[in-house]
């Protein structure tokens, strides 16, 4: 499992490096659907978890404050 994630992370870095360099428009156009697919599949997972954690913390904080005051 670690080996698979390492390969996936490496390929993601390569794609991001190609995207940052913008060497040839042909390659960029070809990689565009792959980039958007990766953005859709990876970023909501990464940011969604972080946002959920913040929302949950905020929710429990709002719950705990009246209890602490009373």
pLDDT one digit per residue (tens) for the chain, 70 residues: 555 555 555 555 555 555 555 555 455 455 555 555 555 555 656 666 777 788 878 877 777 766 555 4
Residue 49's pLDDT is: 74
Does the model's pTM come out above 0.75? no
Work out whether the CA dihedral 16, 24, 36, 38 comes out positive or negative.
negative
pLDDT attached to residue 11: 53
pLDDT of residue 37: 54
Number of H helices, E strands in the chain: 2, 0
**Residue 45 to residues 23, 32, 48, 50, 60: CA-CA distances in angstroms?**
29, 20, 5, 9, 22
With vertex at residue 66, the alpha carbon angle to CA 62 and CA 68, rounded to the nearest 5 degrees, is 105
């Amino acid at each position: 499992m670690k080996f698979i994630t390492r390969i996936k992370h490496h390929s993601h870095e390569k794609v991001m490096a190609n995207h940052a360099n913008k060497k040839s428009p042909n390659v960029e156009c070809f990689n565009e659907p792959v980039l958007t697919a990766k953005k859709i599949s990876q970023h909501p997972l990464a940011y969604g978890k972080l946002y959920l954690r913040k929302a949950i913390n905020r929710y429990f904080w709002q719950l705990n404050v009246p209890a602490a005051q009373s």
